[in-house]
Amino acid sequence: MPEPHGHLHRHHLLLLLFLLITATNSAPDSATTTNYQIFKEAPQFYNSPACPSLDTNEMCSHQAVHVAMTLDAAYLRGSMAAIFSVLQHSSCPQNIRFHFIPSSTANHHHLRLTISRSFPSLKFQIYPYDSSKVSGLISTSIRSALDCPLNYARNYLANLLPPCLSRVVYLDSDLVLVDDIAKLAATPLGDRSVLAAPEYCNANFTSYFTPTFWSNPTLSLTFAGRKACYFNTGVMVIDLQRWRQGDYTTKIIEWMELQKRMRIYELGSLPPFLLVFAGNIAPVDHRWNQHGLGGDNYRGLCRNLHPGPVSLLHWSGKGKPWVRLDANRPCPLDALWAPYDLLQTPFALES
């Protein structure tokens, strides 16, 4: 039963007072302010009559749609919008199970509380990720945000998530869905593919690797016999059982170890995925990752949608919609993200 209106008001005031005291006693850096954002409660969404009943072990149910996302203080506002969009456009929202991966050093209690307040009925688990194992393998890239160890958590999903989970949809935090995620989750993976994602074969694939890589026949032959195309790792459907059987985490780590010895690629966590999977993934329609809306990695300029239908909008690139909206310098497409923003401003405690 929802709290009485007055009780809710007092709750927000007490929470705001706590945050103000905390902020006064802390260093005024961006991490502190991001950690203590307050979010509104989202509407409750219910299953349609045709939705299947779930197994008793709900967090591993094969009838559920399983979604994995990282949780990071700097991107929490984006994560909350992404969750909201997934639920709003689902025909069976109560059958979605979220699997959140924060850094092991994050305030897990605060993250759990934040999600539970905005989504009281959400079924989710939190799996702390020890980034120390990957920190020494990260090479500097063209944008510091790409070097965050949490970006590499997707390499370890099969180890982090319960062994009973067989399939998961991995989503970045800077996107919103405008279609039913169950359609994406049901993507056929065929007999052998470990993951599915939209491919972009018109992109210049060679640019993701250095001349050192292409001039070494032992390395460049990696792609022999594979129609290797660029794909964006921010939206993937992953068969976790096949991943575990093929020990793909180790394969990715081996490329990262080589990169530390001789620079063979430039761009963060993506190239190891391309080295292991490009040319061997199941196709997904481009509508499921209208990516690049954050512009390039240098300036983050405004971009238009790609031609064709849209099921998912992805602000990959430097520019994030919440940053541009707060700065009163939004791009036209940022208006499509704004309705999913649950941030509660201190001066509008009453909705």
pLDDT band for 145, please (50, 70, 90 cuts).
low
Predicted TM-score of the model (pTM): 0.86
Strand-pairing partners, residue 71, are 102
Residue predicted with more confidence, 348 or 244: 244
Distance, in Å, from the CA atom of 68 to the CA atom of 172, rounded to the nearest integer, reads 9
pLDDT band for 147, please (50, 70, 90 cuts).
low
Instruction: Give residue 2's pLDDT.
Output: 42
Distance, in Å, from the CA atom of 48 to the CA atom of 52, rounded to the nearest integer, reads 9
Distance, in Å, from the CA atom of 134 to the CA atom of 255, rounded to the nearest integer, reads 12
- Examine the pLDDT at 141 and tell me if it is beyond 70: no
Instruction: Give residue 279's pLDDT.
Output: 94
Instruction: Give residue 252's pLDDT.
Output: 95
pLDDT band for 306, please (50, 70, 90 cuts).
confident
Residue 275: its H or E element: helix 270-277
How many C-beta atoms lie closer than 10 Å to residue 105's C-beta? 11
Rank 8-12, 111-115, 204-208 by mean pLDDT and report only the highest. Answer: 111-115
Instruction: Give residue 103's pLDDT.
Output: 92
- Examine the pLDDT at 123 and tell me if it is beyond 60: yes
Lowest mean pLDDT of 86-95, 129-138, 225-234, 314-323, name the range.
129-138
pLDDT (tens digit per residue) in 151-172: 889 999 999 999 999 999 999 9
Instruction: Give residue 5's pLDDT.
Output: 42
Q: Are strands 175-177 and 312-314 parallel, antiparallel or unpaired?
A: antiparallel
Q: What mean pLDDT is predicted for residues 106-125?
A: 96
pLDDT (tens digit per residue) in 54-84: 876 778 888 999 999 999 988 999 999 999 9
- Examine the pLDDT at 139 and tell me if it is beyond 90: no
Laid out side by side, the sheet with 195-197 consists of: 123-126, 96-102, 65-71, 167-171, 235-239, 195-197, 282-283
pLDDT (tens digit per residue) in 13-61: 444 444 444 443 433 333 333 447 999 999 999 999 999 988 767 788 8
Q: Which CATH class is domain 65-287?
A: alpha beta
- Examine the pLDDT at 300 and tell me if it is beyond 80: no
pLDDT band for 176, please (50, 70, 90 cuts).
very high
Cα distances from 255 to residues 24, 46, 140, 157, 251, in angstroms, run 45, 44, 15, 18, 7
pLDDT band for 345, please (50, 70, 90 cuts).
confident
- Examine the pLDDT at 209 and tell me if it is beyond 80: yes
User: What percentage of the chain exceeds 90 in pLDDT?
Assistant: 69
Per the CB < 8 A criterion, the answer to whether 293 and 313 are in contact is yes
- Examine the pLDDT at 325 and tell me if it is beyond 80: yes
Distance, in Å, from the CA atom of 348 to the CA atom of 351, rounded to the nearest integer, reads 7
Tokens in use for 109? 């209690």
pLDDT band for 293, please (50, 70, 90 cuts).
very high
